[in-house]
Amino acid sequence: MARKSIRGAFFSGIAVTLLLGLALMCGIQTALSGIYFARERRAALTGVLNGAAILSERFAGEGTNVTLPDIDAALLENARERYGLFETAVGAVVFVADRQGRVVLHTGSEDAFAGAAVPAALREKMDAGADVFEQSDLGGVFSGRYYAVGRALRVGGGQGYLFAATTMDALGDYIGDTLKMYLFSAGLMLLFSGVLTLVLTDRVTAPIKGISAAAHRLGGGDFTARAPVDGCEELADFAATFNNMAARLQTIDNARGQFMGNIAHELRTPMTTIKGFIDGMLDGTIPPAEHAHYLAIVSEETGRLARLVQNMLDITRLEAGEVPIRAREYDIWQSVNGVVLADEQRIEDGRIDIQGLGEGRRTVYADPDLVQQIVYNLVDNAIKFTPPGGVIRFEAVAGQGVVGLSVENTGAGIAPEALPYVFERFYKEDRSRGLNTRGAGLGLHICKVLATLQNGGIRVESEEGAWTRFTLTLPAAAPPAPALPETGKRKKRGHRAARGD
């Protein structure tokens, strides 16, 4: 099913809303026009009725009783002519009914009257002294619907009912004229609103189109795509958020490419070495007497490959949160002493002096296995870069709820510009060293991740050409357990104990 564009949906919504609003306003306007017209007719007919009543009183002063059924024809004709002035002036029909409600005098045509008597209910209201206003055929008096105002008439000793009426056909003409003006105004308003809606829709959808175009480019693999940050506040925030996401994806993509390149480089180097030595032994380039020596090198490179793969697996598990943390309180010197003893042969071969081991008990709250791995990586790194006759110094200092274990070694140190990148994956200060650079640049990154998982941290300091120091910080004790709310029963027992009950 085809979907509407935002512009089309927005315009359709505004158009439907306007049409419904105009239709509602048209209904309200028509109803109010009818009410207004009825009030205006009532006021006008009341004025006519007042004038006719004054004329009736004049007839009575002249000795003429206009409401009696036995008045002679000459007098009726005289009264009809005088009342007829109102019909000529304002288009109102004036008629007089006797006490039985029969019409005895009127100024309209005979076709307008059906001949019925005025209903008794209306006569009772008028006898009580109230004027009546009707929008009907007056109980069959008229042959059509009329606005009619009536009141009781008492003059010259006689009594009857005086009415002024006008046809309701004028209401249709009035409402028709009103609707014509309303529809003309509504048409102009719709035209103006339509043009304004299209302009506003373009302004609203332009930023969305920019974001959509950038999203299409991003989905196609162009991580440099950025959306224009303009439009209303919400769309500008949306575009800025999209651009931040695109920038992060670009960074991740660059890191992924660099990561794959680093992996390829790290795997290719030992594999090239292994293949070269094995091919040399197979084709006789390397004499049999030296096979053992080169097989030892192949074994070392194979171990290097195994460690690289294991480190990559460890990083994957760490970043996926699949490494359980079994923290407990123990002496961190246990981990340090165990690692140093395991590397004792390498330390002796390198003629390295070890200082500061086991100076007092330093309790930490951490996972001994994970701490062991961190310390192993730090010590292994220190042994690699400590020159013969150099020193590796250990120190554990407690303070402010943490314990800091530092591993310092003498040697070439780290350049100041390289310090911020030491804990990044595959980072090596000198990338050109190839085979001469031992390790894949993953150990320190693993150390940082493991330290962070245990609510600790790790930092590096160095003086180029002199020394390098890594400091691991871990919590000195377990965090306090959250206090449980006491139950009412426990509080009551506490009060009793305080009173000595």
Instruction: Spell out the domains of the chain, with CATH numbers in brackets.
Output: 37-173 (3.30.450.20), 223-322 (1.10.287.130), 326-475 (3.30.565.10)
**Bridging pattern class, strands 353-355 and 391-399:** parallel
- Can you give the pLDDT at residue 332? 92
In this structure, what token pair is assigned to residue 335? Answer: 């981990």
How would you classify residue 278: left for phi > 0, otherwise alpha for psi between -120 and 50, otherwise beta?
alpha
Q: Is the pTM of this model over 0.75?
A: no
Among 326, 232, 308, 226, residue whose Cα is nearest residue 269: 308
- Can you give the pLDDT at residue 77? 57
Q: Assign 349 to helix, strand or coil.
A: helix
Residues 6+ apart with CB under 8 A from 424: 441, 445
Contact 363, 477 (CB under 8 A): yes
CA distance 470 to 379: 10
Residue 217 sits at φ, ψ, to 5 deg, of -65, -40
Alpha carbons within 13 A on the beta-carbon side of 1: 2
Neighbours of 289 (CB within 10 A): 7
DSSP 113: B
Among 421, 439, 450, 428, residue whose Cα is nearest residue 314: 450
In this structure, what token pair is assigned to residue 253? Answer: 């993509």
Alpha carbons within 13 A on the beta-carbon side of 16: 6
CA distance 147 to 164: 8
Q: What are the average pLDDT values for consecutive 10-residue runs of the chain, which has 501 residues?
A: 68 83 86 86 86 73 51 52 65 85 82 86 90 90 90 76 86 80 86 83 80 86 84 81 87 71 68 87 88 86 77 69 82 91 89 85 90 90 92 91 94 89 70 41 82 91 92 89 54 43 39
Between the CA of residue 57 and those of 297, 375, 438, what are the distances in Å? Answer: 140, 125, 130
Contact 164, 94 (CB under 8 A): yes
In this structure, what token pair is assigned to residue 448? Answer: 């940082």
Contact 46, 149 (CB under 8 A): yes
Between the CA of residue 460 and those of 78, 375, 386, 421, 444, what are the distances in Å? Answer: 125, 14, 16, 10, 10
Q: What is the CA angle 470-476-480, rounded to 5?
A: 140
CA distance 349 to 382: 14
Contact 374, 443 (CB under 8 A): no
- Can you give the pLDDT at residue 432? 34
- Can you give the pLDDT at residue 328? 92
One-letter amino acid at 439 equals G
